[in-house]
Amino acid sequence: MTFFKYKADYVPVFLLCVIFVLDLVVFFSAEHLWQVVTWLIIGIAPKSVFCSFSHHHQHLETFKQPLLNRLIEIPYACITGITSHLWYLHHVVGHHMNFMDQTKDESRWKNKSGKTMSEFEYSFSVWITSYARAAFVGKRFPKQMKIFITMLLLQISLLTVLFIINWQNALFVYLLPMAISLFLTSWHTYYHHAGLDTQDEFEATFNCTNRFYNLVTGNLGYHTAHHKRWRLHWSLLPEYHKSIQEQIPDHLIHQRFFSGRKLHQEAVKIQS
């Protein structure tokens, strides 16, 4: 009997646990500042990869058992800065419902004056407001809000204990990587929708079909498919993308790992 809903999650969960254990080893064994700083620099890239899989988990939970889902969210939070149900409230029942309305979108890419934000302005805005916006959405979802608050308090308690044990190691092994990963997650989402002002779901999202990009993000490049069927497991998105690809404008599909500012601007220009 398997505890997983989908076999495709075996490898991501295993690698997540490896990184989590390595963090613990560094935290308890590092005696010098240069050691934890080095681990911060080396570890931030692989840690940021798990932000996508944390996102997938909060769309469709990894395990069949609720307890296992809560337990796996502890290493996810320690590595990505994304606690249990943060993305469920902010993203699943927030952004996914409102992404074509920039007055409501929890990941809005327009500023108050109605202009498209810069990459940094958008990234900082989503980063700094993510927990507050999730809590605001949570008022409509008391059951999920209860889990969000409970797990957030647990995460804060665990982090407090780590700071009491060794504040320097806790800062560089946990708190700073958590903050950086959450910021990188926010930055990464800029190129999903920014500039696409439309009420047509097939024209509201950029798609990246680059093979390596989708390997490290769990097929997040098939973003229109993800929005059309947000409960579909990440491993099934490529197949669903094929079934709707003809309905997606060509300028919204690219194969570059980094979409790049120029490519993005050209696509927005065509769209308008």
List the structure tokens of 175: 């708190």
Q: Establish if 109 belongs to a structural domain.
A: no
- Hey, what are 15's tokens? 């690698």
What's the structural domain count of the chain? 2
Q: Is residue 194 part of a domain?
A: yes
In the predicted structure, residue 127 carries a pLDDT above the cut 80: yes
pLDDT at 2: 82
Phi, psi dihedral angles at 254 (to 5 degrees)? -140, 170
pLDDT digits (tens, 9 = 90+) for 65-92: 999 999 999 999 999 999 999 999 999 9
Strands (E), the chain: 207-208, 253-254
Q: Are residues 182 and 194 in the same domain?
A: no
The residue out of 188, 220, 249 marking a domain boundary is 188
In a domain, 55, yes or no: yes
Does residue 159 share a domain with residue 261?
A: no
Domain termination residue (choose one: 163, 188, 213): 188
Crossing angle of helices 66-80 and 142-165, in 10° steps, is 50
**Domain stop point among 148, 168, 188:** 188
Q: What Cα–Cα distance (Å) separates residue 260 from each residue in 54, 158, 193?
A: 24, 38, 14
Residue 233 belongs to some domain of the structure: yes
Q: Could you tell me if 156 and 227 lie in one domain? A: no
- How do residues 218-230 score in pLDDT, each as one tens digit? 999 999 999 999 9
Q: Specify whether 13 is located in the same domain as 142.
A: yes
Residue 261 has pLDDT above 90, yes or no: no
- The reply to whether 160 and 268 lie within a common domain is no
Structural domain contains residue 110 = no
Half-sphere exposure of 263 (CA within 13 A, CB side): 16
Which residue range(s) make up the domain with 240? 190-272
Whether the predicted pLDDT of 122 surpasses 80? yes
pLDDT of residue 70: 97
Residue 242 tokens read as: 């094929």
| 3-class state of residue 187 by DSSP | helix
Q: Are 62 and 9 in contact (CB under 8 A)?
A: yes
Give the pLDDT of residue 263.
61
Identify any residues that bridge with 116 across adjacent strands, giving them in sequence order: 110
251 lies in the same domain as 263: yes
Question: Domain for residue 208, yes or no?
Answer: yes
Calculate the average pLDDT of the chain.
93
Burial of 72 (0-12, 13-18, 19+ CB in 10 A): buried
Mean pLDDT of the region 118-146: 96
Instruction: Enumerate residues 6+ apart whose C-beta is below 8 A from 165.
Output: none
Residues 224 and 171 in one domain: no
- Same-domain check for residues 93 and 203: no
Residue 171 domain-assigned (yes or no): yes
Question: In this structure, is residue 146 part of a structural domain?
Answer: yes
Q: What is the pTM of this model?
A: 0.92
Are 172 and 221 part of one and the same domain? no
| Mean pLDDT score, 177-191 | 93
Question: Does residue 272 surpass a pLDDT of 70?
Answer: no
Residues 142 and 230 placed together within one structural domain of the fold: no
Same domain, 77 and 120: yes
Judgement on whether residues 169 and 201 belong to the same structural domain of the protein: no
* HSE, side-chain direction, 13 A CA sphere, residue 254: 18
Contact 202, 224 (CB under 8 A): yes
